[in-house]
Amino acid sequence: MKLCFNQATTMVKSSLELDLQFCEKHGYDLIEIRTMDKLKDYLKNHSIEDLANYFKTHKIKPYAFNALVFFNNRDEAGYKEIKEELQYMCEVGQKIGCPNIVVVPLVGTDKFTYGQIKESSVKVLHELADIAEKYGIRLAIEFVGHPQCTINTFGKAYDIVQAVNRNNVGLVLDCFHFHAMGSRMEDLKKADGSKIFILHIDDTEDFPIGILTDVDRVWPGEGAIDLKGILTTLKEIGYKEDMVSVELFRPEYYELEVEEAIKIAKEKTLAVVGKYF
C-alpha cells in the first residue's frame, strides 16, 4: 500500500515546498496537492516546470489535486467557472504527472431534491469527464458527511457514479465522511472496488452522527470510526488503487511543527492500515 499525504494535515504552518521536503524525507510515496492555496502560493515564486522537474528527480509523486469544489447544482456563471478551473487543473496535471482530481459536491443552505441533485451531477460529470479524458485524468467525487452537502453518503455518491458510468469517474472514500453521516457498510460491500480511486484515512471523536465537522478528526486509530470494517470490506471488494492518503483538519495538530506532524501521520496510518493491506 502506497502512502500518500494530503496537505490539509499541515495546512496552517506549511507550504508545498515544506510538505514535499518532509514527505520525501520520511518515505511517503505520493502527495495530494491543495490547489486553492498551496499550489497558488508555490507559483508565486516557482513555475509549473519547476514542480514537474521536482517530481522527475524525487521519489514522491503527485496523486491528486484537491479540489474542484461545488461542481453540481450551480448557476450558469458558477458552472462556467468550474469548467475553466478544471481545464487549468488538467493542463497542470498533465505537465506534472498528476492523474486525479478530487471533485466536491455543492455544500450550502439551498435545498434540492435528490432527483435534482442526481440529474445535475450526472449531466455535469459527463461534461467534466469529457474535458479530463483528453488529458488522461480521472475525476474522483468526494461525498462530504455533512447535512448541508448535496451528496453526503457513500450510497448516494456511488449511485451517481454508476449512473455516469465513465471509466474516468469514480469516488473518494474518506473514512471520516463515511462515518459522519452514517454511510452504510452494506452499500460499501455491494460496490465495485475499482470505482474507488482514492482512500482517505482519518478518525474522529465520538460525537453523534450528523453534527461532526472536520475539526473533530483525530489520528487514525484514536477515534470512533470502524476502520477495521471499512478496510476489510475494501479488501474484499477489490480496492485496487494500492494507496491511502492521510487527511486531517485538527486544530491541535496544526500547532505541531510540520515535520513532526508528517512523521506522526505516517506512523499512525501505517499502524492501522498495515493490519489489513
**What's the CA gap between 96 and 35, in Å, rounded?**
13
Q: Tell me the residue type at 211.
A: I
Give the domain ranges of the chain. Answer: 2-274
Whether the Cβ atoms of residue 202 and residue 174 lie closer than 8 Å to each other: yes
Strands (E) in the chain, as ranges, are: 2-6, 30-34, 61-69, 100-104, 138-142, 169-174, 196-201, 203-204, 217-218, 243-246
Residue 101, exposed/middle/buried by CB under 10 A (0-12, 13-18, 19+)?
buried
* Sign of torsion over alpha carbons 23, 28, 29, 31: negative
What is the residue-level pLDDT of the chain in tens, covering all 277 positions? 999 999 999 999 999 999 999 999 999 999 999 999 999 999 999 999 999 999 999 999 999 999 999 999 999 999 999 999 999 999 999 999 999 999 999 999 999 999 999 999 999 999 999 999 999 999 999 999 999 999 999 999 999 999 999 999 999 999 999 999 999 999 999 999 999 999 999 999 999 999 999 999 999 999 999 999 999 999 999 999 999 999 999 999 999 999 999 999 999 999 999 999 9
> CA 245, CA 252: separation in Å to the nearest integer?
20
Would you state the pLDDT for residue 3?
98
Fold type of domain 2-274: TIM Barrel (3.20.20)
Cα dihedral sign for 235, 217, 180, 156? negative
| pLDDT value of position 10 | 98
Contact residues for 253 (Cβ-Cβ < 8 A; gap 6+): 9, 219, 261
Predicted local confidence at residue 169, as pLDDT: 98
What's the pLDDT at 18?
Answer: 98
